[in-house]
Amino acid sequence: MTLSHELDGKVAIVTGGGNGIGRATAELFAAQGAAVAVLDVNGSAAEDVASRITSSGGRAVSITADVSREHDARRAVEETVGQFGGIDILFNNAGIIRRASVLDIRIEDWDLVTAVNLRGVFLMSRFALPHMIENKAGAIVNTGSGWGLAGGGQAASYCATKAAVVNLTKAMAIDHAQAGIRVNCVCPGDTDTNLLKSEGEQLGIEAATWMRESADRPMGRVGRPEEIAQAVLYLVSDRSSYVTGVAHIVDGGGLAG
């Protein structure tokens, strides 16, 4: 069976939509019929994705926003509603990583990772939820990580924030289920993105070696952004209508053993 236009008539916000998993998901949402607000702190990257979507016949706008800032998050939601008339889907995907232990990380980097990875999810959800509650329907997906379920070395702030995102997802799912809103979390393993490449650079590991080490999992490779996007599509679509509060692992078997 060919699945097509699963999101017809829906309006979606994708944070961190300028590259990687966010970009792949924004483009997939648009291909499935959604109008997409592409949010990124890098305005030119967001504009590039939105332009690609519109040039292919889809509907999209780009919004330059820092999700960790209250004003930006509120404005992003207001601009989306103003442009498309509402919000049905929120993909809280914006995230950063600083590879360091508690002893080694700079305090300002700890605060930055926490602000983007956790506060950003809180703020975007806080401002989007009232619109979903008014419509008695909605789907939120938060990007967690395999390291939100199991710890990893030299990544204390990232592990802490992604674990918090996993449990925040569950709390939000409980709080808003009666309003017809489903909240889930996708937990990717190492995926071929700029974020993954930056980790190797931060650790001082040669690029080819780093990517080879990252592929050390049962399937023997890193993920592709498009593969994570397919999991997100499932979680926001009617195919997962009885699914809420889950942490959906997409990691090539990395956490299996």
DSSP label at 62?
E
Radius of gyration of the chain (CA): 17
- CA–CA distances in Å: residue 241 to residues 60, 79, 162, 182, 236: 25, 28, 25, 8, 8
> Which has the closest alpha carbon to 92: 227, 184, 198?
184
The whole-angstrom separation of Cα 82 and Cα 11 is 11
Asked about 158 being catalytic, the answer comes back as yes
Q: Report the DSSP beta bridge partners of residue 38.
A: 14, 62
Q: Report the sign of the C-alpha dihedral through residues 57, 60, 61, 64, in that order.
A: negative
The whole-angstrom separation of Cα 213 and Cα 194 is 16
Nearest partner of 21 among 4, 1, 38, 2, judged by Cα: 38
> Amino acid identity, residue 46?
A
Catalytic residue among 29, 122, 127, 158: 158
What residues are annotated to the active site? 158
